[in-house]
């Protein structure tokens, strides 16, 4: 963090920036102007100094390699990319995997959500809310926490709120250590289904390579029963902590608050309906076990994946790229005849233009994905709420998910967790909140671990039905077409994920992955609309008790981290100055590929 006095007109503003932000992957910088007299952030800009170029070097590759390559976009949710790429490939090849393969992928992805959310929430986010941090930033709040009883101490065993905060102290706190253990167990569950974490070795278009035996599912279930005990404790524990902050610090619900503009692309396919045909994408998209949807001001605008796809726009405005207006158009209309815009990922050409960072001009390698709302002619800067907030919100509002242990009611999601190793059957209800703020993003994350666990139980039952019937087929044959297009919609752990592919002459002609962080960390677009991080921090009240000299910016950090930021996916090769790359190539079947 560095500071410098900035000349203000009426308000005395102080430049403060955190670059890079720690505890996240990638080069995210947050640049703010803070009005300490009024305890408010006057202005915020989000920047990334890293360029990678997946959309550039995917061209000309074999389409069947797409999921192996794009998995490397991320070191924490690479499997989400692999899965999404497989969805896009299956659409392009015109195939669907056998049901058992789909249940196996769902089980793997459910384990990924459980793993990643646990690790991020309890080992990374909670550092901002732990005793040690609160002692340094809000000692008065800690004093109050010492004398405030935890309402659910009978379940989690911590008597006071301060005890909960102590349990999250890094490396020493009991919950911190237990969460590390759980993230290991859930990763084992993942590996049982997808072979390897985080770049799956057994996922392919057309199915999986996992050998489906009763043993593999039993191994998964045994681990899941232990995870359920953890989940049953950690939800009331998080509720106690976040409810305390709202009560103890009046106005804290305004931290990170922004207009409700949420996007969810849906997760967990239902093999009984999903055939990966674009023409029926609306119908099978609504059968996903996490319902896709775009939510504006608390109301659902659409839960039709075709509408979601057609409305996607990639804008520039403050990014280090040239426009592609004069480049080739790959897709003029989708298979249903809907016109596809020039700034849609199917038609995008990435033209990087490195330049000096200028906060009055171009200042980030992240582009600005927006969703075009034809009702208002607006390009909406959707955020993902860190992933779970949008997923739960969209699922709850649509009211389509009705499983034995998960029910979407229209205003909430009820999650029933069966008896586990230590604790009895318990039901949790996530209710749609009134705000899209820091606390609700963090709270939703912990509820989505329960959602994934409950969904995994259902997927296990369905998978075992297949195995008990002897239907062990897990892959289908396919041919790679000469010309085709495909798109995949999925949820990365931290939110919306789409992969758009165009195949020409049997090779990739265009490929654009759009993960959650470009949506969340986007800079100001060509219309001047700030990205969600910027928007959530702009005008935010400061509740930290420290003065300007020892200011940590904890409220800003909590807000940015509540989005679960992850920059490697935000910018689609960074080489240090003067670094020489040696190319080593092992030709296979001679170098005759043209």
For residue 119, the 8-state DSSP code is H
Sign of the C-alpha dihedral computed for residues 541, 544, 550 and 552 taken in this order: negative
Instruction: Out of 250, 251, 424, 591, point to the residue binding other proteins (CB under 8 A).
Output: 591
Residue 4 touching other proteins (CB under 8 A): no
In the bound state with other proteins, the residue whose beta carbon lies nearer, of 209 and 418, is 209
* Cis peptide bond upstream of 20, omega within 30: yes
User: Measured between alpha carbons, how far is 563 from 465 in angstroms, rounded to an integer?
Assistant: 38
* Cis peptide bond upstream of 198, omega within 30: yes
How is residue 476 written in tokens? 């289908």
Residue 268 touching other proteins (CB under 8 A): no
Sign of the C-alpha dihedral computed for residues 154, 155, 157 and 158 taken in this order: negative
Strand partners, 430: 413
For residue 123, the 8-state DSSP code is H
- Residues numbered 93-152 forming contacts with other proteins, rule: CB under 8 A: 98
CA angle 590, 584, 504 (to 5 degrees): 55
Closest distance to other proteins from the beta carbon of 199 (Å): 17
Residue 214 touching other proteins (CB under 8 A): yes
3-class DSSP state for residue 219?
helix
Binding piece for other proteins, criterion CB under 8 A, among 23-31, 61-69, 191-199, 358-366:
61-69
Closest distance to other proteins from the beta carbon of 337 (Å): 29
Residue 323 touching other proteins (CB under 8 A): no
Closest distance to other proteins from the beta carbon of 62 (Å): 4
Residue 582 touching other proteins (CB under 8 A): no
Binding piece for other proteins, criterion CB under 8 A, among 58-66, 367-375, 398-406, 522-530:
58-66
In the bound state with other proteins, the residue whose beta carbon lies nearer, of 276 and 519, is 276
Q: Where are the alpha helices (DSSP H) in 280-385?
A: 281-286, 305-310
Number of amino acids touching other proteins (CB under 8 A)? 48
User: Measured between alpha carbons, how far is 296 from 235 in angstroms, rounded to an integer?
Assistant: 27
In the bound state with other proteins, the residue whose beta carbon lies nearer, of 60 and 339, is 60
Residue 272 touching other proteins (CB under 8 A): no
- Residues numbered 428-487 forming contacts with other proteins, rule: CB under 8 A: 467-473, 475-480
Residue 504 touching other proteins (CB under 8 A): no
In the bound state with other proteins, the residue whose beta carbon lies nearer, of 212 and 542, is 212
- Residues numbered 85-104 forming contacts with other proteins, rule: CB under 8 A: 98
User: Measured between alpha carbons, how far is 103 from 87 in angstroms, rounded to an integer?
Assistant: 14
- Other CB atoms within a 10 A radius of the CB of residue 186 amount to 30
In the bound state with other proteins, the residue whose beta carbon lies nearer, of 11 and 471, is 471
What torsion do the CA atoms of 183, 184, 189, 192 make, to the nearest 10 degrees?
Answer: 140
What torsion do the CA atoms of 242, 247, 252, 257 make, to the nearest 10 degrees?
Answer: 70
Binding piece for other proteins, criterion CB under 8 A, among 206-214, 237-245, 258-266, 384-392:
206-214
Instruction: Out of 70, 347, 349, 436, point to the residue binding other proteins (CB under 8 A).
Output: 349
Chain contacts with other proteins (rule: CB under 8 A): 57, 59-62, 64-65, 98, 204-206, 211, 213-216, 322, 327, 349, 351-354, 467-473, 475-480, 506-507, 583, 585, 587-594
């Amino acid at each position: 963090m560095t500071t410098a006095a900035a000349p203000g007109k009426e308000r005395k503003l102080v430049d403060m920036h955190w670059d890079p932000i720690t505890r996240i992957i990638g080069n995210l910088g947050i640049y703010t102007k803070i009005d300490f007299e009024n305890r408010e952030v006057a202005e915020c800009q989000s920047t990334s100094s890293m360029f990678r170029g997946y959309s550039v070097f995917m061209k000309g590759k074999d389409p069947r390699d797409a999921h192996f390559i794009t998995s490397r976009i991320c070191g924490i949710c690479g499997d989400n990319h692999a899965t999404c790429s497989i969805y896009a490939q299956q659409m392009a090849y015109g195939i669907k995997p056998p049901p058992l393969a789909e249940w196996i992928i769902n089980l793997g992805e459910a384990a990924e959500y459980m793993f990643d959310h646990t690790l991020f929430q309890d080992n990374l986010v909670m550092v901002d809310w732990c005793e040690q941090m609160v002692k340094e930033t809000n000692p008065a709040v800690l004093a109050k926490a010492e004398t405030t009883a935890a309402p659910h101490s009978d379940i989690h065993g911590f008597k006071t709120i301060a005890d909960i905060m102590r349990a999250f102290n890094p490396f020493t706190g009991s919950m911190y250590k237990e969460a590390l253990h759980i993230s290991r167990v859930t990763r084992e569950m993942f590996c049982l289904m997808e072979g390897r974490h985080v770049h799956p070795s057994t996922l392919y278009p057309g199915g999986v390579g996992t050998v489906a035996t009763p043993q593999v599912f039993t191994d998964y279930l045994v681990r899941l029963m232990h995870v359920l005990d953890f989940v049953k404790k950690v939800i009331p524990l998080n509720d106690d902590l976040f409810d305390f902050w709202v009560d103890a610090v009046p106005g804290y619900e305004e931290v990170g608050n922004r207009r409700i503009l949420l996007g969810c692309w849906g997760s967990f396919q239902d093999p009984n309906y999903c055939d990966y045909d674009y023409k029926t994408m609306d119908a099978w998209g609504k059968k996903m076990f996490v319902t896709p949807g775009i939510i504006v001001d608390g109301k659902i605008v659409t839960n039709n994946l075709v509408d979601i796809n057609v409305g996607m726009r990639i804008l520039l405005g403050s990014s280090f790229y040239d426009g592609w207006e004069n480049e080739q158009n790959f897709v003029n209309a989708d298979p249903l005849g809907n016109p596809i815009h020039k700034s849609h990922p199917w038609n995008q050409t990435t033209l990087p233009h490195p330049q000096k960072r200028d906060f009055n001009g171009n200042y980030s390698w992240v582009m600005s994905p927006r969703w075009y709302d034809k009702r208002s002619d607006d390009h909406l800067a959707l955020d993902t709420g860190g992933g779970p907030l949008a997923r739960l919100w969209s699922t709850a509002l649509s009211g389509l998910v009705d499983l034995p242990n998960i029910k979407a009611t229209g205003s909430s999601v009820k999650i029933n967790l069966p008896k586990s190793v230590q604790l009895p059957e318990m039901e949790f209800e996530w209710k749609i909140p009134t705000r899209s703020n820091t606390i609700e993003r963090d709270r939703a994350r912990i509820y989505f671990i329960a959602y994934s666990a409950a969904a995994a139980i259902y997927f296990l039952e369905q998978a075992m039905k297949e195995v008990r019937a002897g239907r062990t087929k897990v892959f289908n044959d396919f041919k790679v077409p000469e010309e085709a297009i495909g798109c995949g919609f999925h949820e990365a752990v931290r939110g919306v994920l789409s992969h758009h592919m165009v195949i020409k002459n049997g090779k990739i002609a265009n490929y654009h992955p759009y993960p959650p962080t470009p949506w969340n960390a986007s800079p100001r677009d060509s219309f001047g609309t700030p990205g969600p991080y910027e928007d959530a921090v702009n005008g935010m009240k400061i509740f930290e008790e420290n003065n300007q000299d020892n200011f940590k910016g904890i409220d800003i950090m909590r807000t940015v981290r509540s989005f679960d930021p992850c920059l490697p996916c935000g910018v689609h090769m960074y080489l240090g100055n003067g670094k020489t790359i040696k190319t080593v190539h092992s030709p296979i079947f001679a170098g005759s590929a043209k």
